[in-house]
C-alpha cells in the first residue's frame, strides 16, 4: 500500500477515535448541590435542621475567646464572645442587626449599619447557601475548577439577595465545602474574606465542619482567626426573643439627688 495512503488512513482512524470519545461532561449546578447535600447527610436531613446551638473557641493569634453561637431558621442569629472578662454580641433578628461592643467602649446595645447587618446575616447562616437556595434568594452558578491548597475543587459563584458575591469550593472527591471566599464593600472599601473549612463530624445525621480558619484582606499579612466548635446541638428550642435587641437602659436623671425630688429639696 502506498505510504501516503497508509499515513492518511492512520490519521483518519485517530480522528475517528477522538470524535468517538466525548470530553468529560461539565457538572451542572444542580448535580453539584445534590452531591454536596448527599455527602453531608442528605437534602431532607439538612432541610429539617431548623436551629443550632454551638459552643466553641475563637482564636486571634495568642488570644482565645470562648463563644456561643445560636441560629434559628430562616435567618436569626446571635454570637456572644468573651475577651478579658468582657462579652461582645453580634446579632440579627430576622430584619435588622444589633451589637454590644464593650471593647470599643460601647456597653449598651445599638443597631448595626445595614451593610454590617447584611454580613452577619449572610456569613453566619448555619446551613450555608446550598440548602433550599432558590427559596432563600441565592443564585448559584458554576465557575469552573480550581486547586485549593493542592486539593482539586469545583468552584461555585454564589450571589445573595443583596447582590453580594461569594465563591464556594467543593472538594472534587468528597463534594463538601473546603473554602469560601466573600467579596464585599465595607464603608467604601473592597474587602475579601477567605474561610478554610474542615474537620467534618457527624451530628444528628448531618456532617458539620468543626473548624474554620478565616483571613481578611484588611488584616495584617498572616493574621488569621480560627473558630473551633466544641459542642453542637441541633433543633433546640430557642425563643425569638433571644435574638431581639434589649431595650437600652434609660439615662439617670441628674436633676434629682439621691433622696430628693426635682428641685433638690429633701423630705418635707
Mean pLDDT, the chain, as a whole number? Answer: 86
Residue 195 confidence (pLDDT) above 70: yes
Residue 213 confidence (pLDDT) above 50: yes
Question: CA of 198: how far to CAs of 88, 142, 204, 214, 215, in Å?
Answer: 26, 22, 18, 12, 15
Mean pLDDT of all residues in 75-95 = 94
pLDDT score, position 156: 98
Place of cell 434568594: 137
The model's pTM: 0.81
Whether the CB-CB separation of 233 and 49 falls below 8 Å is answered with no
Grid coordinates representing 84 are 478579658
- Model confidence at 6, pLDDT cuts 50, 70, 90, reads very low
- Model confidence at 268, pLDDT cuts 50, 70, 90, reads very low
Per-residue model confidence as pLDDT tens digits over 91-138: 999 999 999 999 888 899 999 988 888 888 876 789 999 999 999 899
Residue 214 confidence (pLDDT) above 80: yes
Mean pLDDT of all residues in 253-258 = 52
- Model confidence at 189, pLDDT cuts 50, 70, 90, reads confident
Q: Cα torsion for 16, 145, 36, 190, to the nearest 10°? A: -150
CA distance 39 to 24: 22
- Give the SS3 label for residue 182: strand
For the segment(s) 21-241, the CATH number from 2.50.20.10, 3.20.20.70, 3.30.420.40, 2.60.120.20 is: 2.50.20.10
pLDDT score, position 122: 77
pLDDT score, position 222: 74
- Give the SS3 label for residue 31: helix
Cβ-Cβ contacts under 8 Å for 206 (sequence gap 6 or more): 40, 41, 42, 45, 46, 49, 234
Amino acid at each position: 500500500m502506498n505510504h501516503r495512503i497508509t499515513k492518511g488512513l492512520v490519521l483518519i482512524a485517530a480522528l475517528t477515535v477522538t470524535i468517538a470519545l466525548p470530553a468529560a461532561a461539565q457538572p451542572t449546578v444542580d448535580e453539584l448541590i445534590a452531591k454536596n447535600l448527599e455527602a453531608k447527610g442528605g437534602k431532607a436531613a439538612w432541610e429539617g435542621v431548623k436551629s443550632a446551638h454551638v459552643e466553641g473557641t475563637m482564636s486571634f493569634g495568642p488570644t482565645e475567646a470562648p463563644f456561643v453561637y445560636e441560629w434559628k431558621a430562616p435567618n436569626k442569629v446571635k454570637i456572644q464572645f468573651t475577651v478579658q472578662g468582657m462579652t461582645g454580641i453580634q446579632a440579627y433578628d430576622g430584619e435588622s442587626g444589633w451589637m454590644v461592643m464593650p471593647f470599643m467602649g460601647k456597653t449598651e446595645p445599638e443597631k448595626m449599619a445595614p451593610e454590617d447587618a447584611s454580613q452577619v446575616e449572610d456569613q453566619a447562616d448555619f446551613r450555608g447557601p446550598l440548602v433550599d437556595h432558590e427559596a432563600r434568594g441565592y443564585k448559584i452558578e458554576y465557575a469552573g475548577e480550581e486547586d485549593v491548597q493542592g486539593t482539586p475543587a469545583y468552584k461555585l459563584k454564589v450571589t445573595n439577595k443583596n447582590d453580594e458575591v461569594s465563591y464556594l469550593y467543593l472538594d472534587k472527591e468528597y463534594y463538601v465545602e473546603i473554602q469560601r471566599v466573600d467579596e464585599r464593600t465595607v464603608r467604601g472599601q473592597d474587602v475579601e474574606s477567605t474561610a478554610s473549612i474542615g474537620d467534618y463530624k457527624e451530628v444528628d445525621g448531618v456532617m458539620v465542619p468543626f473548624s474554620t480558619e478565616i483571613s481578611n484582606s484588611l488584616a495584617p499579612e498572616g493574621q488569621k482567626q480560627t473558630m473551633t466548635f466544641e459542642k453542637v446541638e441541633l433543633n433546640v428550642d430557642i425563643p425569638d426573643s433571644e435574638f431581639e435587641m434589649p431595650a437600652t437602659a434609660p439615662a439617670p436623671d441628674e436633676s434629682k439627688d439621691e433622696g430628693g425630688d426635682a428641685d433638690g429639696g429633701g423630705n418635707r
